[in-house]
Amino acid sequence: MYLTVTTPAAAKIKVAQRQHADSVLLLDFDDGVGSLSRVGTCALSSVFRVLLADPSLDLHDYDQDLESNIGAFKIKGYSKIYMDQQLKLDLNPKNQMLRLSGANAGELTAAMMFEVIPPNTSSSK
């Protein structure tokens, strides 16, 4: 499994990485699991997000790496069932939102949240 990050998407991510150099890059399947989730446990839809998380946070749910051309993204291992072997992270030039697509499945998330999660900050349930 591999994620190709296009040049425009990489540029957006790298700006935030420069400001938060120690952060961990996550491709989060936001399904209500984990302390960083923004949805409730009874959510009817699941989406992917890109997060830059402080390494001091509880990231134990992100138990696998997804290789990319800009470095590894941590992922929830079970979320692979929703991904293709070849993924692409691109930037929509009209709204400047990231979008994730798969070679076979097509668009997985049309407008992805991109967030920096500082220390001691997580969603409460």
Entry pTM: 0.84
19: which 2 tokens?
């400001």
99 inside domain: yes
Residue 96 has pLDDT above 90, yes or no: yes
Range of the domain at 23: 2-115
92: which 2 tokens?
């929509």
Domain of residue 89, CATH code: 2.60.300.12
Give the whole-angstrom CA distance, residue 107 versus residue 100: 6
Residue 46 has pLDDT above 80, yes or no: no
111 inside domain: yes
Domain count, the chain: 1
Residue 22 has pLDDT above 50, yes or no: yes
Mean confidence (pLDDT) of the chain: 87
Give the whole-angstrom CA distance, residue 114 versus residue 27: 10
DSSP calls for 33-101 = -STT--S-TT-S--EEEEEEE-TTS--TT--EEEEEBTBPEEE-GGGGGGS-SEEEEEE-TTT--EEEE
125 inside domain: no
